[in-house]
Amino acid sequence: MLFKHLCRRDAVLVLFGAACFYTFSAVSVLNAGPEYHEQIVTEPPAMQTVSPVLKQAVPVDLGLVQDFPETSVVAHAPGWTIFRNLYMSSGSLLLVTRDPSQFPEHRMMTSTGLPGNLTNDAQRIPTPKEMAFVTPEEAKRRWGGDINTRNRVSTVEGTTLLFNDPPQFLNHYFHFVAELMFGSWAFLYGAFHDQTAKPSAASTNPSFNPPLLPTSVPTINRAIFIHSDVDGWRDGPGFNGYFMRAVFPSMTIEVATDWIDRVNATANTEIGRAWHFPLVLLTDRSAAFRGSICGAYTQRTAAEAWTVMAKAGKIDLIGNWWAGIRTSLARYAGGGPHEDENLPSVLQVPDTVVITYINRQGTRRHLRDEDNRALIAAVEELIARKNRQGGKRWEFNNVHAEQISLDEQIQFAAKTTIMLGVHGNGLTHLVFMKPTRVSAVVEMFIPGGFARDYEWTTRSLGMTHYSVWNNESFTHPHEPVLPDYPDGFHGPNIPLDGPFVARLIEQHVAMKEKGVPSVDNSPVHDQH
Ligand SMILES: *[C@@H]1O[C@H](CO)[C@@H](O)[C@H](O)[C@H]1NC(C)=O
Ligand SMILES: *[C@@H]1O[C@H](CO)[C@@H](O)[C@H](O)[C@H]1NC(C)=O
Ligand SMILES: *[C@@H]1O[C@H](CO)[C@@H](O)[C@H](O)[C@H]1NC(C)=O
């Protein structure tokens, strides 16, 4: 169940990724993209300077104003843009401004929202139907009331996540949680979290569901999936819905039909009307692939968001920025004990080493059966030997994800130090591991095969990633530059030298326990 559809999806991913590599990398060198790449446009969050009690923005009634507030960009990376005062009318996102030159190119922010494939780059370039500039005077002419009537602009209050992608990658646990939501949180946290403010959850946000770890990231009121119906953003095993409801219990979710209501309310009318979004994170997969980090290197949309914020020092390199999310989910799933707000500033040595094997033998892409048995035997031997020697306790969980509940899967992930598995969706759970100095993901591929999905994601949290080809392994920076899916990649006969993997784990733990705390995910050097 968990791994349903994966093979087809991986194939699409390669095609899409490869297409983007050849076209987008060329384009982003020629055009002005890089300046928005490197540069983070931040405005100090208004809330930083006022006392916590006054922090909530005072709503402005746009029915009565003389001039509509102009649109501004709080932060931007290819495919990820935080706006203040974004407008929508007739389905087009409108930037009200006198100075269009201060904005990134539209194609680096949005697209037509079509599914990506090798031949439709041009059809995914946004047109004025998707995004356009409007002068303040024109906005007033279109939507302004006269002396006796209100302006025809309605505010959609609070913070909105505006997702411009089709279901193509939304309905998949890895792409939804470990790319879209992972990148969204990296970007919002980077733009708004103020380490010095230490707001208490209660004072900023009277709520039945306060954030478990305090943050000055504004409450996210809603997510809108512009091009997806209710099923389009949900994955087969049900993790996407589980994640959204567990971590953001008050968030409202709108889908394409709801968006059409809003489009029609402004389109099918003689008079002009608009919606006003005071604070929006707009994300777009096609636009992220136009950036060189995603398009030419990682094929991970979240890497654009993460890199801009990590380079600017706005998020740490050891996954503390993500701790609020993983802690919320771990507490919701049960089990425990879980993290509190005293997050360490360097990675700690854990008290126990918990090896979790995401066993895929019940699904299509898996190890040769005898190699799977040898792997389990070798890891069991390692665990028994370590526990006989005394000292740190070692634990081994051989997990068939498709046979246990979602809660149990998250409980296993939350206590895992070393996650082990054949390349596949089950490894997405790595984002719920608590990073320690020893934390690692060991990903097994058919010899010659490689994909950066879990590799980049593991390192972005400060953990170590090993790729294993039977009896060889490599880790960053020695991985292949490009993904490769040779024959047998998705098949049931992946060879593996189990004792080799057990030795790799043993050596890794010994090395990390002795060594100085270090991470190998510098955003400055981490670009080919
Ligand atoms: C690619 O997408 C376009 C729509 O944007 C579609 O017309 C075309 O048939 C697709 N091509 C392939 C090979 O799927
Ligand atoms: C929106 O407007 C279009 C075009 O007028 C119409 O075909 C469609 O039924 C409307 N949809 C909704 C949900 O009102
Ligand atoms: C690794 O496996 C290959 C294929 O079975 C074998 O030819 C090679 O000798 C092995 N290398 C080592 C170091 O065991």
| Domains of the chain, CATH where assigned | 72-194+209-311 (no CATH), 340-525 (3.40.50.720)
Q: Whose CA is nearest to atom 6 of ligand 1?
A: 120
- Which residues have CB under 8 Å from 468's CB, separation 6+? 442, 443, 444, 445, 496, 500, 501, 504
Q: What is the CA radius of gyration of the chain?
A: 24
Cα–ligand 2 centroid distance for 264 (angstroms): 6
72 within ligand 3 shell (Cβ under 6 A): no
Cα–ligand 3 centroid distance for 311 (angstroms): 41
Rounded CA separation 419/404 (Å): 17
- pLDDT score, position 470: 98
Q: Is residue 194 very low, low, confident or very high in pLDDT (cuts 50, 70, 90)?
A: confident
- pLDDT score, position 518: 67
Q: Whose CA is nearest to atom 3 of ligand 3?
A: 471
Q: Provide the residue count of the chain.
A: 528
| Average confidence score pLDDT of the chain | 87
Mutate to test the pocket of ligand 2, among 89, 254, 264, 268 (most ligand atoms within 8 A of CB): 264
Q: What percent of the chain has pLDDT over 70?
A: 84
The pTM of this model reads 0.88
Q: Whose CA is nearest to atom 3 of ligand 1?
A: 120
pLDDT digits (tens, 9 = 90+) for 468-499: 999 999 999 999 999 999 999 999 999 999 99
Mutate to test the pocket of ligand 3, among 370, 469, 471 (most ligand atoms within 8 A of CB): 471
Q: Find out whether 152 and 143 touch, Cβ atoms under 8 Å.
A: yes
- pLDDT score, position 7: 37
- pLDDT score, position 57: 56
Task: Measure Cα distances from 175 to 143, 185, 397, 443 in Å.
Answer: 38, 14, 25, 18
For range 249-259, the mean pLDDT = 97
**Atom in ligand 3 nearest the alpha carbon of residue 495:** 5
Q: Is residue 331 very low, low, confident or very high in pLDDT (cuts 50, 70, 90)?
A: very high
- pLDDT score, position 146: 84
> Which ligand is closest in space to the CA of residue 115?
1
Residue 39 confidence (pLDDT) above 60: no
Mutate to test the pocket of ligand 1, among 111, 117, 124 (most ligand atoms within 8 A of CB): 117
pLDDT digits (tens, 9 = 90+) for 349-396: 999 999 999 999 999 999 999 999 999 999 999 999 999 998 899 999
* DSSP states along 461-485: TT-EEEEEEBTEEEETTSS-SS-B-
Q: Whose CA is nearest to atom 13 of ligand 3?
A: 471
> Which ligand is closest in space to the CA of residue 112?
1
Q: Where does ligand 1 bind, in terms of residues with CB under 6 Å?
A: 114, 117, 119-120, 123
